[in-house]
Amino acid sequence: MRQSIFAGALPGSRAAGWLLTGAAAIAAAVLFGPQMLRIATGATPHGLDVALFLAQPTVIQAHILAAVGSVAVGAIILWARKGRAFHRAMGWMWVALMGAAAATSLFIVGLNGNIWSLIHLLSGWTLVTLPVAVWAARRHNVNLHRRTMTGVFWGASIVAGGFAFLPGRLMWKLFMG
């Protein structure tokens, strides 16, 4: 019994993932909560602030377009039937968009002064995992292909994308500022 409790909390297990996510959420709430609440209470939701978007450096514009495109294409892939020509065509498009989102992010700094921040770990992980996932598909290793691709989709797009909309960051200003 005791062994099975600890077995569920091994690194890499789902329980360890939830534990780490919970700890990160509590740390973020304690560290940034008060400031985010102050900004959030002054939020005024609106459509895309086109002028502010156009005022951004090209690399940030490219990052946003590639990242948002990858979320849309990724969602269609998850929903559609797998293994057919449509899946392959959309899959290549998604890999290109996701690769572009991760690659452009290497040229964006700000959260951590003039050097890379923790989110750049996600960029590196994405750039390593994407070729592995494509290689797995070409080798017909469906299990590895599915795990790596869905891992990048949820881990990179949804986590990095979600963080991008936190109060004070650019996506917040584009829609809420």
Which positions touch ligand HEM (CB under 6 A)? 60, 63-64, 67-68, 71, 101-102, 105, 108-112, 117, 119-120, 122-123, 126, 156-157, 160-161, 164, 169-171
Check: CB of residue 109 under 8 Å from CB of residue 115.
yes
End-to-end CA distance of the chain: 52
Q: How far apart are CA 141 and CA 133, in angstroms?
A: 9
Of 60 and 176, nearer to ligand HEM (C-beta) is: 60
Cβ atoms 45, 175 nearer than 8 A: yes
Residue 107 CB, shortest distance to ligand HEM, in Å, is 9
Taking the complex as a whole, the smallest distance from the CB of residue 54 to ligand HEM amounts, in Å, to: 14
The phi-psi region of residue 167 (left if phi > 0; otherwise alpha if psi is between -120 and 50; otherwise beta) is beta
Give residue number: closest CB to ligand HEM: 161
We find the least distance from the C-beta atom of residue 111 to ligand HEM, in angstroms, to be 4
